[in-house]
Homo-oligomer: A and B are copies of this chain.
Amino acid sequence: MTFHIDMIKNSEPTIHDIARELEISASTVSRALNDNPRISLKTKEKIKAVAISLGYRPNTLASNLRNKKSNTIGIVVPLINRHFFSSVISGAEDVAFKAGYNVVISQSNDLADKEINIVQSMFSNRVDGLIISIAMQTNTFEHLKIFRKKNIPLVFFDRAVPEIETDKIVVDDYAGGFRVAQHLIDQGYQRIAHLAGTQNLMTYFDRKNGYIEALRKNHIPYDESLVIINTLTSNEGVSAVQQLMSLKNPPDAIFCGNDTTALSAMIYLRDKGIRIPQDIGIVGFSNEPFSKVVSPSISTIAQPGFQMGQKAAELIIRQIETKERTFQTIVLATELIIRESSSRKSF
């Protein structure tokens, strides 16, 4: 019984196999495949032909190990199936791919433990850089500081960590919050509640402060009982509204920290026979696709997710490909999109 060579070793062909076939050295093969000028055109052509005929595909693991570079960018988001985040991913993936990088995506589910786990795993996989929007729950940052310590490129988007100095790309949440509140005031609403996210995240912190500032500017007293802080899930939107409506002096408008809670609040109120925007005005945040098409459509703040992702990828690639470390914080403008849920004056 005889075996053909191909049957004995069923593993992938390597540069050594190509070298053996042509009776040359593996170094030459490696150089040829990388278009090194030290190899003659004739040899290169022969080598490439054999590579194709053997179905050779380079083992990037070996290459990465040797080069101490993985050509991979890690992206960590709280939740993949949030339109804003998946848009950011799309944008980043787009730029990274064109620049020759692979992208590894993971979601933290807004859990600190999972985030730490993911980030460490990406580190072990030697990603060339990490783009991250931190989880709501995260309140220690050692797993991220290590990237700075080891000088591994790191870029925050949307949810950044103030105490870590690196490139950041965020939206102007303060202005966003301000504009929402001002808009509601302009529409004649008087008691404006705010459903805020966890305050350890600058995004939610800033939105709230923008809101407070708008009240102040308009000489509306700030009432703490009108501000509820939670993690902004659909269910929490409902319970927050329940709490607000049971106040002796309930609000006539609610600035919700995101569109998800805006929607759940709206549905709850509608079921209670409360009219929107006539009885209560609602504004969300993030411009999720559904906010445009629900009835009534939800006023909200648009964040340029795709663009943010593109920019984040550009920044990380700059960090990767230059040694220079002059960090910048890019603040993207937001846009207030006025829709039905807060347009009382048209009634």
Give the interface of A toward B (CB within 8 A): 11-12, 55, 57-62, 64-65, 68, 70, 79-81, 83, 86-87, 89-90, 93, 97, 102-107, 114, 120-121, 123-126, 146, 150, 263, 289-290, 293-295
Are A12 and B150 in contact (CB-based, < 8 A)? yes
Chain B residues with CB below 8 A from A89, complex form = 80-81
Shortest distance in angstroms between A304's beta carbon and chain B's nearest beta carbon? Answer: 14
* Contact assessment for B289 and A125 in the assembled complex, using a CB-CB cutoff below 8 Å: no
Asked whether, in the complex, the Cβ of B87 is within 8 Å of the Cβ of A102, the reply is: no
Q: How far is the CB of A186 from chain B (nearest CB, A)?
A: 26
B residues near A150, Cβ cutoff 8 Å:
12
5 A–B contacts, CB within 8 A, in A order:
A65-B65, A86-B86, A90-B107, A104-B105, A295-B295
Residues of B within 8 A of A61 (CB): 61, 64-65, 70, 125-126
Instruction: Report whether A124 and B295 are in contact in the complex, using a CB–CB cutoff of 8 Å.
Output: no
A2, B59: Cα distance in complex, Å:
40
Of all chain B residues, the one with the shortest Cβ separation from A306 is B81
Contact call A81/B87, Cβ cutoff below 8 A: yes
Chain B positions within 8 Å of A90 at CB level: 79-81, 107
A62–B124 CA distance with the chains assembled, in angstroms: 10
* Residue from B70, B86, B114, B126 within 8 A of A81 (CB atoms): B86
Is A123 a contact partner of B57 (Cβ separation < 8 A)? Answer: yes
CB distance from A16 to the nearest CB of B (A): 14
Q: Whole-angstrom distance from the CB of A1 to the nearest CB of chain B?
A: 22
Note all chain B residues with C-beta closer than 8 A to A290: 289-290, 293-294
Number of chain copies forming the complex: 2
Shortest distance from the beta carbon of A14 to any chain B beta carbon, whole Å: 12
Of A61, A68, A107, A121, most B-chain CB atoms within 10 Å: A61
Cα(A150)–Cα(B126), bound, Å: 27
Chain B minimum-CB-distance residue to A263: B293
Instruction: Decide: A104 near B107, CB < 8 A? Known: A59-B65, A86-B80, A126-B59.
Output: no
Interchain CA distance A106-B97 in the complex, whole Å: 9
Alpha-carbon distance A174/B290, docked complex (angstroms)? 28
Residue numbers in B under 8 Å from A81 (CB-CB): 83, 86-87, 89-90
| Distance between A284 CB and nearest chain B CB, rounded to angstroms | 12
Q: Quote the shortest CB–CB distance from A39 to chain B (angstroms).
A: 21
Cross-chain contact of A80 among B59, B93, B289 (Cβ < 8 A): B93
**CA A68 to CA B10, docked complex, whole Å:** 13
Tell which of B12, B86, B289, B294 touches A295, judged by Cβ atoms closer than 8 Å. Answer: B294
A57/B294 in contact, CB under 8 A = no
A124 (CB) vs chain B CBs: closest residue: B60
Q: Report B-chain residues with C-beta under 8 Å of the C-beta of A93.
A: 80, 106-107
- Contact present for A62 and B65 (CB under 8 Å): yes
Question: Known pairs A55-B146, A80-B90. 11 more at Cβ < 8 A?
Answer: A12-B150, A57-B120, A57-B124, A61-B61, A61-B64, A61-B126, A81-B86, A97-B106, A102-B125, A104-B104, A289-B290
Least distance between A72 CB and chain B CB atoms (Å): 8
Contact of A293 among B105, B146, B293 (CB under 8 A): B293
